[in-house]
Amino acid sequence: MVNVLDLPEEELIYPGTRACAGCSMALIYRIALKALGKNTIITVPASCLTVLHGMQGFCTTKVSVLHTPFATTGASASGIVASLEDKGLNEDINVVAFAGDGGTVDIGIQSLSGAVERGTNFIFACYDNEAYMNTGVQRSGSTPPGAFSTTTPDGKIGYKKDMPKILEAHGVPYVATAISSYPLDLYEKFSRAKEIYGPKYIHILAPCPPGWGYEPKDSIKIGRLAVQTGFWPLYEVIEGKFQLSKDSRRYLDPKKRKPIEEYLSLQKRFRNISDEIIANYRDYIDNLWKDIKTRTKEEN
C-alpha cells in the first residue's frame, strides 16, 4: 500500500490551467503523471484534457503531448509505439492514451479495439465524466440511466456501457477501474500498469462539477459515495485474474453499502429521476456485486 509520502513531490503539470475549479480530471491527470514519470508521451483526442493543455504555442505539462482527432486515439498510440520501437527507445518511454468517455466508449472504440488487438504496448486511460462535458453536456454511451444532459432533458433511457468488460473480452493483460477520490489507489494502478508489457486499460470515474450539478468542493465526496454505494467498484483484472481493490473490499457485504439515493440526490442531473429508475439502480448494484462475489470466490 502506498503512502502519501511515496508519491514524487515534483509536479509534472503546471498550475493555472483552463480546467474548471474542482475538476477531478485535473486531479486524475496530475496523479497519473506522478506515477508515469517524465519519460512519457501522452496522446489526447478532443476532450476536456485538450482544453487543459491550453492554446497553440503553450503547454501546461512537462511531458510530450500529441493532440489527435477523436477517432484515432488508439491508432496514434500504435504509431508512436511503432516509431519508438524502430528507434529502440520503447523500453524507456511510456506511451499513454488519455481520452474522455466519448473518445473511448463512443467515437474512439474502433481504434482502441484495433490497437489492443494488435498488442500495442501502451496504456489507455479513460477518464469517465459520463457525458460530452467540454461541448456542453451531451449524452454519451457512458451516461448513466436517468441522468440529465442537454440531449436527454428528461433523463437518459438505457444503460451505461460496461467498457472494462469489453476490454476484458479482448484478453487485455491489465484492466482496472479507479476513481479520483482514491488517488493513492489510482497511483498504484498506474504504477502497476507501467510495468506490464502489452495493452493496458484503466477506466477512471471523474465527477464533473458543472456537468453533474454540484458544488466544486464536493468533487471528492461524490466520488467516494460512488464507491461506498457500490455503484463504482474498484478492481483489477491482471492476466485474467480478478482482484477487488482494498478500498472496495468491505462493500462485498451489502449491509455496509450506503443507499444509492445518497449518491443520486447530491447531483442536480438526477433531479427528475423516477422511483422506477432508482429501483433499477438497486437491482443493477445487487447483480453487479453478486457477479463480483462469484468472481472473487473463484480466484481464492
Partner 1 sequence: MTDTKNDYQKILGSVQKPVKGEAGKTGSWSPKKPIIDIEKCIPAKSGKPSCFNCWLYCPEAVVSRTIPPKIDFDYCKGCGICMEECPVKAITMEEVSIE
Tell the smallest beta-carbon distance from residue 297 to partner 1 (Å): 34
Tell the smallest beta-carbon distance from residue 65 to partner 1 (Å): 8
Q: What is the spatial distance between Cα 61 and Cα 78, in angstroms, rounded to a whole number?
A: 22
- Are the C-beta atoms of 34 and 7 separated by less than 8 Å? yes
Q: What is the spatial distance between Cα 178 and Cα 207, in angstroms, rounded to a whole number?
A: 12
- Are the C-beta atoms of 128 and 206 separated by less than 8 Å? yes
Q: What is the spatial distance between Cα 268 and Cα 248, in angstroms, rounded to a whole number?
A: 26
Comparing CB distances to partner 1, the nearer of 24 and 120 is 24
Using DSSP, state whether 203 is helix, strand or coil.
Answer: strand
Largest CA distance in the chain: 58
Comparing CB distances to partner 1, the nearer of 17 and 296 is 17
Comparing CB distances to partner 1, the nearer of 57 and 153 is 57
- Residue 55 exposure: Cα atoms within 13 Å on the Cβ side: 1
Comparing CB distances to partner 1, the nearer of 25 and 244 is 25
Long-range contacts of 254-258 (CB under 8 A, 24+ apart): 254/230, 254/286, 254/289, 257/228, 257/229, 257/230, 257/285, 257/289, 258/225, 258/228, 258/229
- Residue 30 exposure: Cα atoms within 13 Å on the Cβ side: 20
**Ramachandran area for residue 22 (φ above 0: left; ψ -120 to 50: alpha; else beta):** left
Using DSSP, state whether 145 is helix, strand or coil.
Answer: coil
Tell the smallest beta-carbon distance from residue 26 to partner 1 (Å): 4
Positions touching partner 1 (CB under 8 A) are 4-5, 7, 9, 11, 13-24, 26-27, 30, 54-62, 183-184, 209, 215-221
Comparing CB distances to partner 1, the nearer of 9 and 195 is 9
For residue 178 the three cell numbers come to 479507479
Tell the smallest beta-carbon distance from residue 112 to partner 1 (Å): 25
Tell the smallest beta-carbon distance from residue 224 to partner 1 (Å): 10
- CA distances for 296 relative to 53, 211, 236, 243, angstroms: 40, 34, 11, 7
Tell the smallest beta-carbon distance from residue 33 to partner 1 (Å): 10
Tell the smallest beta-carbon distance from residue 231 to partner 1 (Å): 20
Comparing CB distances to partner 1, the nearer of 149 and 180 is 180
Comparing CB distances to partner 1, the nearer of 196 and 220 is 220
Q: What is the spatial distance between Cα 97 and Cα 245, in angstroms, rounded to a whole number?
A: 23
Tell the smallest beta-carbon distance from residue 60 to partner 1 (Å): 5
Comparing CB distances to partner 1, the nearer of 27 and 176 is 27
**Ramachandran area for residue 119 (φ above 0: left; ψ -120 to 50: alpha; else beta):** left
